[in-house]
Amino acid sequence: MRTNPFLSCVIPAYNEAGNLPQFIPALAAKLDQLDLAGYEIIVIDDGSKDNTLDVLYSLVENYPLRVLELSRNFGKEAALSAGLDHVTGDIALLIDADFQHPIDEIPTMLNLWRNGYDMVYGIRSRNTESWLKRVFTHAYYKLMSFSTSVEIPENAGDFRLIDEKVVKAIQNLPEKNRYMKGLYAWVGFKSIGLQFSEQERQHGTSSFNFKSLFNLAISGLTGFSDLPLRVSTYLGALLAFMAMAYGFWIILKTLIEGSSVPGWATLVAGMTLLGGIQLLFIGILGEYIGRIYTEVKNRPKYIVAAEYSKAKNSSSTSDNKTS
Ligand code: UDP
Ligand code: MG
């Protein structure tokens, strides 16, 4: 049994002014009931356009809150990285600000950690999502498990409790393209899933639309697999073989039957098919090159404009957790 830990909560927040005034007190009330050495709540304001920051300033007085103000909207993955880079606790709890992750599960997660698990990840029921989204997500997880050796558990999201050593391992990953679900899986450690039923968002709307989810999906695939690159090799080899066989057949036919003019339809069809396939794979190459370019530029994953807590209000211009 592990002893009472100091817990750091990490909450990414983008336009959550509607939720935070209820969420922070509810979370604090829950944490007060637990056997903890203490806790801190780190909220990362990810360039919100509403008055999330003002709400947070007003909460700082009454709760053990640390507010990290990012200089603009960097996206949830970067906001989570920022939070993880600032935790001081023995364990970190990653939780959304919109009540979709039930705080009632925290005691169970904590118990699993006490029993020796280094990472307890929530498995969402997805009962709040449309069937179409569920079908797409399921297909995506199947594709991911086929294309990469890293086992990314299906429907495991960002609601998780992680030990300090997992936090350190994630902090030390240098990449700028951060697909967090992949990174949690990549670092390994003794992990266990915990089913939870996802709640409806209390206020506001989800920041993720089809386009951002698609981008996240591509980022996951290219970040953890080079299968798309290899497909072009396989497909190229197959087509070359077919073209050779076809050429051989044409030569044979011409020798036996003499030359014949018809066949331009086949030619055009072949050309467009090949042209399409080539463009597709140039696109795939472009995806990887784009990612290499991002890594090479080596810009910080996020910039902290200011940090506030009851004890200290400080400002810093940049955070170069570039390692
Ligand atoms: N979020 C963020 N930056 C963003 C988008 C979202 O920090 O650019 C936060 C948001 O405030 C919430 C969490 O990430 O706490 C999950 O976002 P959301 O509820 O919009 O996504 P969904 O639950 O639909 O996946
Ligand atoms: Mg949500």
Chain segment 230-271, per-residue pLDDT in tens: 887 888 788 878 888 888 888 888 888 877 677 777 777 778
The residues near 123 (Cβ < 8 Å, ≥ 6 apart) are: 153, 154, 155, 156, 193, 194, 195, 196
* Residue 88 CB less than 6 A away from ligand 1: no
- 230 contacts 222 by C-beta, under 8 angstroms: no
For ligand 1, is residue 241 a contact (CB within 6 Å)?
no
pLDDT for 186 beyond 50: yes
> What's the 160 CA to ligand 2 centre distance in angstroms?
14
- Cα 13 to averaged position of ligand 1 atoms, centre (Å): 7
Q: CATH number of the domain at 6-209+299-319, please?
A: 3.90.550.10
Nearest partner of 53 among 314, 306, 321, 317, judged by Cα? 306
- Which residue's CA is the closest to the ligand 1 atom numbered 12? 96
Ligand positioned closest to the Cα atom of 96: 1
How sure is the predictor about 311, in pLDDT bands with cuts at 50, 70 and 90? Answer: low
**263: buried, middle or exposed (CB in 10 Å: 19+, 13-18, 0-12)?**
exposed
Q: State the Cα–Cα distance between residues 206 and 188, nearest whole angstrom.
A: 29
pLDDT tens digit sequence for 153-174: 888 889 999 999 999 999 999 8
Q: What is the pLDDT of residue 127?
A: 74
The SS3 of residue 122 is strand
Pocket flag, ligand 1, residue 68 (CB < 6 Å): no
pLDDT of residue 322: 37
Which of 73, 87, 98, 114 lies closest to 21, judged by CA?
A: 98
Residue 13 CB–ligand 1 contact under 6 Å: yes
**Cα separation, 291 vs 47, whole angstroms:** 24
Query: Which atom of ligand 1 lies at the shortest distance from residue 44's CA?
Result: 7
Phi then psi dihedrals of residue 118, to 5 deg: -90, -20
Q: For residues 182 and 199, what is the distance between their CA atoms, to the nearest angstrom?
A: 24
Give the CA dihedral 286, 172, 45, 209, nearest 10 degrees.
Answer: 30
How far apart CA 208 and CA 166 sit, in angstroms, is: 27
As a whole number of angstroms, the distance between CA 189 and CA 169 comes to 10
Q: Cα(302) to centroid of ligand 2, in Å?
A: 21
| Residue closest to 303 by CA, chosen among 4, 17, 72, 60 | 72
Instruction: Please tell me if the CB atom of residue 207 comes closer than 6 angstroms to any atom of ligand 1.
Output: yes
Give tens-digit pLDDT for 116-146. 999 999 998 877 778 888 888 889 889 888 8
Provide mean pLDDT across the span 28-48.
94
Q: Which ligand 1 atom is nearest residue 13's CA?
A: 11
Parallel, antiparallel or unpaired: strands 156-163 and 91-94: antiparallel
